[in-house]
Amino acid sequence: MLEAVEIEVRFGGLTAIDRVSLALGQDEILGLIGPNGAGKSTLVNALTGFQKPTRGVVRLDGVAIGRWPADRIARLGIARTFQGVRLFQGLTVIENLAAAAIGGGLKRPGAEARGRDILAWMGLDGRDHQLAGALPYGDQRRVAIGRALALAPRFLLLDEPAAGMSDAECDALVGLIRRVPEEFACGVLLIEHNMRVVMAACRRIHVIDSGRTIAAGTPAEIQADRDVIRAYLGTKSEPGHAGR
Amino acid sequence: MAGPRTPLKWLETYSTPIALTLILVGVVGLTWASGAAVFAQTVTDTLIRIMLVVGLYIFIGNSGVLAFGHIAFTLIGAYGTAWLTLSVFKKSFALKLPLILAEHQYAVFPSAIAAALLASLVALVVGVPIMRLSGIAAAIASLAVLGMFHTFYNNWSGWTMGAATLPGLPLYVDMWVALGWVAFALFVAFAYQRSRFGLALRATREDEFGARAAGINIARQRLIAFVLSAFFMGLAGVLHAHFLGSIAVKSFWLGLTFTSLAMLIIGGQRSLTGAVTGAVVISGITEVLRQMEGGFTLGGVTLALPLGSQELGIALVMLLVLIFRPAGLTGGRELAFRLGRRRRADA
């Protein structure tokens, strides 16, 4: 169980996250949505050691990990992707995945084998020896998910994985993400602007606005929630509209 | 590209250091066959520079962190071997060493290893704080380390004779000895870069945030490369010492720092082949210009380039390479070969 308890993150006078609590099990996909600037990425940073919470506790199976360095948290099995992708551009695709598997404790041959398995699982095989930076944008995002999975994580935090993808690519991505909890025994926290992706992938959704939790529940409950409509969906012309 | 399973596969996997070594063997062999002593000196000198640049490459090439202080390890290696290999008589005459050094003269080969290990040990100690830094802070901190050791060795008279030249080291480094050590360095550097440690470090070079998210401890991976790199920087100092027979603190200072960095950058800092290419090309140009400064005959007229042409020539080459090939002459590619039937190209 990965838990955030009353997390608060402040940058000087600005409160980016204001007492947000959430819990993620290893067998589920939790959606995290909110308008631009709501603090979604900051929350992911706080959960993964890239941002020390000003207050509150991050717990992994009851152990407080909020002050640990990011690489140590990753080795404990909390993997993440970045909005900005952040692949190892000058390395090949297989090296990208192998590096993460090595970070997770494997030796070189085992790391490459795991990388190849994951690439095959994602339908990215055949790209092994291409430079990651030379791939199309959508493939780079998928390789980034593959790199996170190469850590053999117990929790996977995806920060806008569908950004810039076509509807068909989004549907394929949802198909993959939905298989992660069962096939990798890994819980997923899915941050996404694209409602189509979130509603299709998650059975539970957490909504934040201006750093505060404003709603949590099933997709149907969230879509009917007045605060959510006001804060988020109301600003868009229709719920299915992609964030960018 | 998993672990090499058959001998043929091993040859392919290590084709880069094998090819580089074979080329160097060819050059040394031809020089030896020609019997030109002057040329042999130049070749040995170039091999020592290759060792220096390969040492730099192990850290800078794989980590992407520019470091200005590595010549400190060359200095440490050179004096380390002097303390061990000078004859007891010369030591008593020139230095005030503890008995275990003063009363013994050690064999050159174990002394070379010991001196290089001393450089690694120092790298381990100074590396722990420095490896936490990135970018320009790391570069300046490493320069500070060089400054520290330079000052220290310049004033540590009992061990170094201060700013004076320390003469009388056994002269055993010829081009074959240098070649042997360089081949060793090439294989170790290549094995490191394709090991899990090398891959983890190259990942940090590409993206530090991505690397941390991938569970990689950046400071630790940098430290491993730093210590390994210091070993070969130290060995270069050992070779230098026993090639010239005398050493002085002032030889291991900013001039050598910038020459060796220039070689790495011009050759291409992201590949082992680049490191070797840079050392060879710059040494070649320097040698030609030096000869021309000394005077040459062209169509019956004896001409000489003005003094300083060497430095100007190198600066010009560096500018041209940086403008037209910013990733260096090799652009980060490795020399490699395939044996037997070609594998099907990846679709």
Task: Transcribe B181-224 into DSSP letters.
Answer: HHHHHHHHHHHHHHSHHHHHHHHHHH-HHHHHHTT--HHHHHHH
For residue A78, the chain B residue with the least C-alpha distance is B213
A45 by DSSP, 3-state: which? helix
Task: Give CA–CA dist A43/A29, Å, rounded.
Answer: 16
Task: Give the H or E element holding residue B321.
Answer: helix B309-324
Based on its alpha-carbon atoms, the radius of gyration of chain A, rounded to whole angstroms, reads: 17
Give the CATH number of the domain where residue A32 resides.
Answer: 3.40.50.300
Please check whether residue B217 touches A, CB under 8 A.
yes
- Say yes or no: B5 contacts chain A, CB-CB below 8 A: no
Q: Model confidence over A176-200: pLDDT tens digits?
A: 999 999 999 999 999 998 888 999 9
Report the number of distinct structural domains present in chain A. Answer: 1
Mean pLDDT of A147-159: 98
Lowest mean pLDDT among A230-239, B119-128, B283-292, B305-314: A230-239
CB B91 within 8 A of CB B102: yes
Distance from CA of B24 to the nearest CA of A (A): 29
Please report, as a single letter, which amino acid is at residue A176.
Answer: L
Check if A87 contacts B (Cβ < 8 Å): yes
Contacts by residues B316-319 (CB-CB < 8 Å, ≥ 24 positions apart) = B317/B266, B317/B281, B317/B282, B317/B285, B318/B262, B318/B265, B318/B266
Joined tokens for residue A117: 């398995």
A52: in domain: yes
- Write out chain B residues lying below 8 Å of A75, CB-based: 215
Distance (Å) from the alpha carbon of A195 to chain B's nearest alpha carbon: 26
Which carries the bigger pLDDT value, residue A237 or residue A62?
A62
| A217 Rama class: left (phi>0) / alpha (psi -120 to 50) / beta | left
Residues in B touching A91 (Cβ below 8 Å): 199, 202-203, 206
pLDDT in tens, B148-198: 999 999 999 999 999 999 999 999 999 999 999 999 999 999 999 999 999
Torsion angle in degrees (nearest 10) through CA of A200, A201, A203, A209: -90
Beta sheet of A212-217, edge-to-edge order: A78-80, A155-159, A187-191, A29-33, A204-209, A212-217
Closest alpha carbon to A31 in A148, A165, A178: A178
A77 close contact with B: CB closer than 8 A: no
CB pairs under 8 A between A and B: 106
pTM of the model: 0.93
Structure tokens at A91: 């390395």
In a domain, A170, yes or no: no
Whether A164 maps to a domain, the answer reads no
Angle, helix B175-194 to helix B272-293, in steps of 10 degrees: 150
Of B345 and B59, the one with more pLDDT: B59
User: A82 and B200: CB-CB below 8 Å?
Assistant: no
Cα within 13 Å of Cα(B90), Cβ side: 16
Question: Is residue A163 in some structural domain?
Answer: no
Residue found under tokens 């600066």: B315
Task: Label residue A234 by pLDDT band (50, 70, 90).
Answer: low
Q: Tell me the C-alpha distance between B235 and B47, whole Å.
A: 12
pLDDT tens string B20-74: 999 999 999 999 999 888 899 999 999 999 999 999 999 999 999 999 999 999 9
What is the tens place of the pLDDT at every residue in A98-137?
999 999 999 999 999 999 999 999 999 899 999 999 999 9
Is B103 a residue whose pLDDT tops 50?
yes
Q: Which domain holds residue A38?
A: 1-77+202-244
For residues B252 and B238, give the distance between their C-alpha atoms in angstroms, rounded to a whole number: 12
pLDDT at B347 (0 to 100): 33
Q: What is the C-alpha separation between B271 and B190, in angstroms, rounded?
A: 9
Q: How far apart, in whole angstroms, are the C-alpha atoms of residue A201 and residue B295?
A: 78
Structure ipTM:
0.93
Model confidence pLDDT, tens digit, residues A8-37: 999 999 999 999 999 999 999 999 999 888
Beta strand A204-209 with A212-217: parallel, antiparallel or unpaired? antiparallel
Give pLDDT, residue A243.
Answer: 42
A208 domain residue, yes or no = yes
